[in-house]
Amino acid sequence: MTHLFFVLTVALYGCATVAYLACLARTSPILTRWATNLLAAGFAAHLLSTIHLANKMKYLPLTNMQESLSFFSLTIIGAFIFFERKYKVTTLGSFIVPLALMMLIASSSLHEQARQLSPVLQSNWFWFHALLAFCSYACFTIAAGVGVMYLIQRYFLKKKQFGALFQKLPSLETMDEISYRCLTFGFPLLTIAIISGSIWSEKAVGSYWVWDRKQTWSLVIWLIYAALLHGRLTIGWRGKRAAILSIIGFIVVLFTFLGMKHSITW
């Protein structure tokens, strides 16, 4: 059952990716509608598949890389759907949806055994921590996607190239605003995630902060986004600088997520 939903999700995300990429080449309201509807259907299937799995395992499916990647992709699509509805930026989908699809395919290529839950993991603090962390990561992913779009559009404006992609991309200010919105959602989420994570750490191993690689890198991520937010609010960092920083932040997030295993759980 979970598998069926999963296959359906991959198929729907695949179709949505094709539709969103086609949106870059053609202007057609029908095509846009198809893209958003396919993605919404895919998101629903993904959500059902995750809930079904969670129900079967009796915990959130975040215990191994396969499950985590799938969950990451789910939160990204969720965040994208939110921002697309709010700002009417279809082109963002051409950048974000393929990424989420790739994560999902990578996830399905991993055949890890669902891990036996060690007692340390079985704490509500852990689930709370993980859920918030993924939501903040999703916001940062959107911010990075918009950042890339911003840099492309800025390039076109500075080089005075007014091609088809220039016409498609949203205005600089819209993208900057989305980026800022992502930051104001993502940063508090990350902060609470880190705090709840350290509470969990205290409960599990008796120390709030153990300076393992995961925790250290999480702190690095927090500092990057704190700097970005601070710069924005006080000095008025925006535009190109903000875009580049949010892309760097996302690379570090990805690196931490893929490369840094938790000393407590692993």
Partner 1 sequence: MNIIVVGLSHKTAPVEIREKVAFSPNQIEKPLHELLNLDGIIEGVIVSTCNRVEIYGTTRDIAGGIARIKRFMAEYHNLAFETIEPHLYGYHAEAAIRHVFRVASSLDSMVVGEPQILGQIKTSYGYAAEFKSSGIILNRFLHKAFSVAKRVRTETKIASSAVSVAFAAVELAKKILGDLSDKTVMLIGAGEMCELAAKHFLNSGAKGVMVTNRTFERAERLADEFGGEAVHFESFLEHLHRADIVLSSTGAPHCIIGPKDAEEIVKKRRFKPIFFIDIAVPRDIDPKVDDVENAYLFTVDHLQEIVQANLAQRTLEAEKAEEIINQEIGQFYKWLSTLEVTPTIVALRNRFDEIRKAELDKTISGWKDLPQDAEKRLESLTVAMMNKLLHAPTSALKQSGQGGRVDLYIDALRQLFELESLQRDDEELELEE
| Site residues, partner 1 (CB under 8 A) | 27, 29, 153, 157-158, 160, 162, 166, 169-174, 177, 235-241
Nearer to partner 1, 4 or 233 (CB): 233
Calculate the CA dihedral of residues 140, 146, 148, 154 and round it to 10 degrees: -140
Nearer to partner 1, 92 or 189 (CB): 92
Calculate the CA dihedral of residues 28, 31, 37, 40 and round it to 10 degrees: -90
- Least distance from C-beta 35 to partner 1, angstroms? 18
Nearer to partner 1, 28 or 216 (CB): 28
- Least distance from C-beta 173 to partner 1, angstroms? 4
37: left (phi over 0), alpha (psi -120 to 50) or beta: alpha
Spatial separation of the C-alpha atoms in residues 31 and 204, rounded to whole Å? 51
- Least distance from C-beta 26 to partner 1, angstroms? 10
Spatial separation of the C-alpha atoms in residues 256 and 235, rounded to whole Å? 29
Are the CB atoms for 48 and 21 separated by under 8 Å? no
- Least distance from C-beta 229 to partner 1, angstroms? 15
- Least distance from C-beta 94 to partner 1, angstroms? 17
Residue 231, token pair as written in the block = 């710069």
Amino acid at 2: T
Nearer to partner 1, 157 or 258 (CB): 157
Nearer to partner 1, 164 or 223 (CB): 164
Nearer to partner 1, 34 or 134 (CB): 34
CB atoms within 10 A of CB 234: 8
Spatial separation of the C-alpha atoms in residues 111 and 61, rounded to whole Å? 14
Residue 169, token pair as written in the block = 């991309």
Nearer to partner 1, 61 or 170 (CB): 170
- Least distance from C-beta 114 to partner 1, angstroms? 47
DSSP per-residue codes, 152-197? HHHHHHHHT---HHHHHS--HHHHHHHHHHHHHHHHHHHHHHHHHH
- Least distance from C-beta 247 to partner 1, angstroms? 17
